[in-house]
Amino acid sequence: MESYRNSDSRPPIMQPSPVLPRWRIPRADWDRPPWNRWTFQNVRQILPTTNVGRGAGPLRPLQSDLQDLSGVSFTGVDGNPMTVSDMLDQTYTDGFLIYMDGRIIHESYYNGMDRHTQHLAQSMSKSIVATVTGIMIGQGLLDPAELLSVYLPELESTGWAGANLQQALDMTTGVQFIEEYTDIDSDIGRTDVASGWKPIPDNAPTGSYCPSCIWDQILSLKQTDAAHGARFYYRSIETDVIAHVMERVSGLKLAELVSRELWMKMGAEDDAYFTVDRAGYALADGGFNATLRDFARFGILNLDNGRRGTEQVIPLAWINDVRSGDHGLFNDASRTTLPLGRYRNQFWIEDASAANVMCRGVFGQLIYIAPDDNMVAVKLSSWPEFLNQTHSLNTQAALREIARVFKG
């Protein structure tokens, strides 16, 4: 079944009650089109979760000075003129927010989403989890140069033997892990099963391995296909290894760590949550859910050099290390949308010569942090495809033009 844009009529997915069979969410395809247009805003209705509390403290207020962006025009990837409104519709947008010079200049919601809707972050989760890693490094609890097996001795019998924490943060370990989203028998396909996101596929190859939880999958990964530190290769499982390190060292569950060290301190307006596997482990690599405004608050905290008021929430050394970004390794697949890019500490660097960084997730999730323009942008989406080069490039072009037009 094909997906639908915001300019199309919305099909009655999961409506009315009782829901007709045709419009019920298929368990094996809940994250595929058109179902993801509903599920990415309603993950809690289909998967087990654990809460990330905002606490009882004051929220960080966000001032607004709304501007009309609809007519802002730029050149699309096909060489033709395109407006921001065109881009938002063609890229299956659920929520879009622009923060510049200390105020929100645009905030819009689509496809049933509103200010308090918690939307799936996908791999933007990695940047949020890694930020808490950076906080723990600043507290002296973790050392990026330390071997992972010092924190998790069980890893001595896996492909991570001899790899250090910084290499996991930069995705430069040599662990063999195939991140092929459409292959149910790839390693990331097994992660879908291990995380509880998907049932064992009916058409899974005979004898294929299906781990019962994320930790079991980590322990099953014995092979390397490169020396540690020799190359960049995007592997979601690295974030889950890092999260297990954080839990082992702190004695706390990941959701509690994120709540205590980040979500409360940054002044979130709403609780967030993670999906959890059968063992109760929060999926660090892609299972985080939060509101558009709270994703913006996370971006603003990074824009403000990790400081909220008088408190240094994120160490400045971590912020600077993320922005410096050049560990010298990147790959051709990533250069299709970031030709001058890098990857550092689970953040994407747009251009190694500048300080702009991004949190990115499949199906069109984006937090864009641009210190030189004093700007944060958040775009939550439900693309039909995991990856779409045209959508990515058009979104980036729109953000650059918005920054040019409205820069103070």
Q: Return the percentage of the chain with pLDDT > 90, whole number.
A: 90
Is 162 inside any structural domain? no
Is 342 inside any structural domain? yes
Is 391 inside any structural domain? yes
CA distance 273 to 119: 10
Using an 8 Å Cβ cutoff, are 75 and 393 in contact?
no
Number of domains in the chain: 1
Query: What's the pLDDT score for residue 207?
Result: 63
CA distance 162 to 226: 12
Does the pLDDT at position 224 exceed 80?
Answer: yes
CA distance 104 to 266: 17
Alpha carbons within 13 angstroms on the beta-carbon side of residue 369 total 26
Q: Which residues, 6 or more positions from 203, have their beta carbon under 8 angstroms from its beta carbon?
A: 184
Q: Return the percentage of the chain with pLDDT > 70, whole number.
A: 99
- 103-123: pLDDT as tens digits: 999 999 999 999 999 999 999
Using an 8 Å Cβ cutoff, are 148 and 156 in contact?
no
Q: How confident is the model at residue 184 (pLDDT cuts 50, 70, 90)?
A: confident
Does the pLDDT at position 86 exceed 80?
Answer: yes
Mean pLDDT within 53-69: 96
Is 110 inside any structural domain? yes
Query: What's the pLDDT score for residue 329?
Result: 84
- The more confidently predicted of residues 200 and 25 is 25
Is 69 inside any structural domain? yes
Is 95 inside any structural domain? yes
Query: What's the pLDDT score for residue 1?
Result: 82
- 302-356: pLDDT as tens digits: 999 999 999 999 999 999 999 987 677 888 788 888 988 999 999 999 988 889 9
Query: What's the pLDDT score for residue 408?
Result: 65
Query: What's the pLDDT score for residue 326?
Result: 67
Question: What is the radius of gyration, based on Cα positions, of the chain?
Answer: 20
Does the pLDDT at position 39 exceed 90?
Answer: yes
Task: Domain of residue 122: give its range.
Answer: 21-139+240-406
Q: How confident is the model at residue 373 (pLDDT cuts 50, 70, 90)?
A: very high
- 267-309: pLDDT as tens digits: 999 999 999 999 999 999 999 999 999 999 999 999 999 999 9
Is 195 inside any structural domain? no
Nearest to 30 by CA among 46, 9, 48, 49: 46
Kindly report whether the global pTM for this prediction surpasses the value 0.85.
yes
Query: What's the pLDDT score for residue 327?
Result: 73
N-to-C CA span, the chain:
45
Query: What's the pLDDT score for residue 37?
Result: 98
Output the domain CATH number for residue 111: 3.40.710.10
Is 374 inside any structural domain? yes
Label each residue of the chain as H, E or C.
Answer: CCCCCCCCCCCCCCCCCCCCHHHCCCHHHCCCCCCHHHHCCCHHHCCCEEEECCCCCCCCCCCECCCCCCCCEEECCCCCEEEHHHHHHHCCEEEEEEEECCEEEEEEECCCCCCCCCEECCCHHHHHHHHHHHHHHHCCCCCCCCEHHHHCHHHHHCCCCCCEHHHHHHCCCCECCCCCCCCCCCHHHHHHHHCCCCCCCCCCCCCCCCCCCHHHHHHHCCCECCCCCCCCCCCCHHHHHHHHHHHHHHCCCHHHHHHHHHHCCCCCCCCEEEEECCCCCECCCCCEEECHHHHHHHHHHHHCCCEECCEECCCHHHHHHHHHCCCCCCCHHHHCCCCCCEEECCEEECCCCCCCEEEEECCCEEEEEEHHHCEEEEEEECCCCCCCHHHHHHHHHHHHHHHHHHCC
Query: What's the pLDDT score for residue 335?
Result: 86
Average pLDDT of the residues of the chain = 95
